[in-house]
Structure 1
């Protein structure tokens, strides 16, 4: 450190490369003049740290309409409904699927259900629930993979149907007659 109160900088660190274009334009040079904004060629080579980080508010580029927040909501509602249906409805393994259907229907009715998020949540909840329900049988008889695949497919199917019916009912309730 310098005794004059100035901070020393590592000469190998490119400060301008870490700054965004707006911060770079606002930064003053040592002579008091404003720096010129970067050109398109400059931003392609050193886009700044913020441009390199993924934005959490944007959906995944390959999956339109998919968000982690929506997946978390769908998963939480599906798991809660799966557990509640297993306690209330005495139908064995089918009760969990009834719960997933009810959760997807409710989310579709409220306008919060997106197919892709509900498919992932419903299939995952049903597959894991079936494995945990039949844990001893799955471990001893070596049927864990087929059991998870069948339960996951059933969960996927009931989630899609539930979301579709919930959206259909919501559309029918909100549209004017005539």
Structure 2
């Protein structure tokens, strides 16, 4: 135990050699380490991090993770994919799923941020609603399993579409 405390103590002779107010990295009176002015750059980063976590708490962190605007856009895209694109495809019950996948693929390509939570939630919501509205009798008779299957299919299609779009965007914008 004493060995650890010896490592943590400050050698006073080394402090006196450097001088008060100076560091090994001092250049012309300003503390500069590897091109960063420690007095301004590092304080700004910690101040904003403290404001986000202390002032906003959980709400501030969730607000950064989930965007209502992005969710509305993903939901509109899933609806367009189901009814417009899915209505144009002659694939029977799978046409809506393929439509969601196609439209959210395009949204993944053009979006600047990865929004998997919003895409998955929007796809699942549209899948459940479409299944319930499309065959309400089957939804009631099955005990809710058909809407759950529709939600899972819609959510997976949305996630795969968004992921593939983001992957294509990453490949197109990456330097070779």
Please give the TM-score of this superposition, normalised by the length of structure 2.
0.61
**Does the C-alpha gap of structure 1 residues 118 and 101 become closer, same or farther in structure 2, counting only changes over 3 Å?**
same
Residue in 2 that maps onto 1:100: 100
Give the strand-richer structure, 1 or 2: 2
Deviation readout 1:8-40 (Å, 9 max, x if unpaired)? xxxxxxxxxxxxxxxxxxxxxxxxxxxxxxxxx
Residues 1:130 and 2:131 are matched in the alignment: yes
CA, structure 1 residues 74+60, in 2 after alignment: closer, same or farther (shift >3 Å)?
A: farther
Moved over 4 A (4+): none
Q: What is the CA RMSD across the aligned residues, in angstroms?
A: 2.4
Contact 2:86/2:97 (<8 A) preserved: no
**Number of matched residues?**
120
Question: Is 2:90 the counterpart of 1:87?
Answer: no
TM-score with structure 1 setting the length: 0.60
Could you list the runs of 5+ residues in structure 1 that have no partner in the other structure?
A: 1-54
Provide the C-alpha distance between the structure 2 equivalents of 1:60 and 1:104, rounded to a whole number of angstroms: 27
Offset at 1:136? 3.1
Q: How does 1:147-162 map to 2 (within 5 A)?
A: 147-162=146-161
Aligned residue runs from structure 1 range 27-176, under 5 A: 61-62=61-62, 64-111=64-111, 114-139=115-140, 142-143=141-142, 145-176=144-175
